[in-house]
């Protein structure tokens, strides 16, 4: 059974992590789109399909089941009850991600599962049980080496909502992909009206105005994304979906990858700050040196040459500081080291004019 396959995969991956024998192959797949776009139907179809072919263990986590309905009610703050810092639905989404991370940590490292102290855990735990992630093994011993795919079914209409899940995938070196179902608003509204518990139409209309499609050119983290038209039924063995899931599993996200652009920007800021600090200090040194020289009755024409020579010296020191070519002194800070060296050289230049 699919539940036994999922559990066997969990147990095998825990053993691998404890023993250091290779990384667990786990993938997170987001199913995104407007309400009634067909996400849940596709999710259930994939849930049935993946354990059969290509033989992956699979679990479906639907946000509609995991976020309590009261989370969408207006906050009821009173005189003795201050208004919460976050709307209920935002708080519930955050708690859900915390539960998911607690489960992934236990799955991949053998750490204990979160307990009742974790908000939303009992509801999350119940869903995991129904999906077979925590149920007793059902004899499918051949599933022990199977990858595990966790399907997350939600609107995910903001990129920031999807990025939070991507961060988990990167942190734990998981596969990550997203299937975005694009369906005309009117089609979604018509389907929604046929539901036994329809979503308020103004909610769907608001989401349609705010929804943010995957942007592969802007967001490198969305490289494993697929946008499908869901006006018609999407077959569960859709070749594009299967290729996407496979590619994400075979190319897991890398944890703690440094953002090269941010790192270079930070270095540039630090370097600019050091140069600015040194520039201000060198200006003060030159000003004091010129005052000392004036007190020694140096001729005006010589004073002009002295100023030009000191400013040229300052420019050379600042350029060396920009290039990281500061001389080694007793100071570990490059700016302080450059200022100290400049002060020494400036004194030598002034003395040269005084001794003429």
What tens digit of pLDDT does each residue of 196-242 get?
A: 999 999 999 999 999 999 998 899 999 999 999 988 888 877 899 99
Distances (CA, A) of 124 to 48, 61, 207, 243, 284: 21, 9, 25, 29, 64
Q: What is the pLDDT of residues 131-143, one digit of tens each?
A: 987 642 233 344 3
What percent of the chain is predicted at pLDDT more than 70? 78
Longest dimension (CA), the chain: 100
Pairwise CA distance, residues 314 & 278, whole Å: 9
Higher pLDDT among residues 152 and 298, named by residue = 152
Q: Pick the residue with more confidence: 300 or 270?
A: 300
pLDDT, position 94: 93
Delineate the domains of the chain, giving CATH numbers in brackets: 2-250 (3.40.50.300), 260-354 (no CATH)
At 1, the pLDDT band (50, 70, 90 cuts) reads low
User: Average pLDDT for residues 55-63, to the nearest whole number?
Assistant: 92
pTM > 0.85: no
54 upstream amide cis, omega within 30 of 0: yes
CA–CA separation, 222 and 215 (whole Å): 7
pLDDT of 43:
95
**How far apart, in whole angstroms, are the C-alpha atoms of residue 49 and residue 25?**
18
Q: Coil, strand, or helix at residue 165? A: helix
* Residue 69 vs residues 64, 161, 210, 228: alpha-carbon distances, Å: 8, 19, 22, 29
């Amino acid at each position: 059974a699919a539940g036994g396959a999922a559990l066997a995969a969990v147990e095998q991956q825990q053993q691998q992590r404890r023993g250091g024998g290779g990384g667990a192959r786990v993938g997170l797949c987001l199913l995104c789109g407007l309400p009634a776009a067909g996400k849940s139907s596709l999710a259930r179809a994939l849930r049935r399909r993946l354990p059969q072919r290509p033989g992956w263990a699979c679990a479906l986590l639907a946000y509609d089941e995991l976020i309590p309905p009261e989370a969408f009610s207006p906050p009821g703050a009173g005189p003795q009850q201050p208004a919460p810092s976050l709307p209920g639905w935002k708080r519930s989404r955050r708690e859900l991600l915390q539960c998911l991370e607690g489960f992934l940590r236990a799955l991949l490292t053998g750490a204990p599962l979160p307990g009742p102290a974790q908000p939303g855990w009992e509801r999350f735990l119940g869903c995991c049980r129904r999906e077979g992630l925590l149920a007793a093994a059902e004899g499918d011993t051949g599933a022990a080496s199977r990858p595990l795919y966790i399907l997350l079914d939600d609107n995910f209409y903001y990129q920031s909502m999807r990025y939070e899940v991507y961060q988990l995938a990167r942190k734990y070196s998981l596969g990550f992909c997203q299937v975005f179902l694009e369906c005309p608003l009117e089609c979604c509204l018509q389907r929604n009206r046929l539901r036994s518990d329809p979503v308020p139409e103004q909610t769907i209309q608001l989401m349609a105005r705010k929804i943010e499609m995957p942007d592969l050119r802007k967001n490198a983290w969305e490289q494993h994304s697929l946008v499908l038209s869901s006006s018609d039924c999407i077959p569960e063995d859709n070749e594009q979906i299967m290729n996407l899931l496979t590619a994400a599993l075979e190319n897991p996200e890398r944890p703690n990858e440094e953002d090269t652009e941010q790192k270079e920007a930070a270095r540039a800021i630090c370097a600019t700050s050091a140069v600015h600090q040194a520039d201000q200090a060198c200006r003060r040194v030159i000003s004091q040196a010129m005052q000392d020289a004036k007190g020694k009755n140096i001729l005006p024409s010589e004073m002009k040459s002295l100023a030009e020579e000191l400013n040229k010296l300052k420019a050379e020191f600042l350029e060396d500081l920009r290039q990281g070519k500061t001389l080694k002194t007793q100071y570990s800070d490059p700016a302080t080291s450059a200022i100290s060296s400049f002060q020494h050289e400036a004194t030598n230049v002034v003395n040269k004019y005084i001794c003429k």
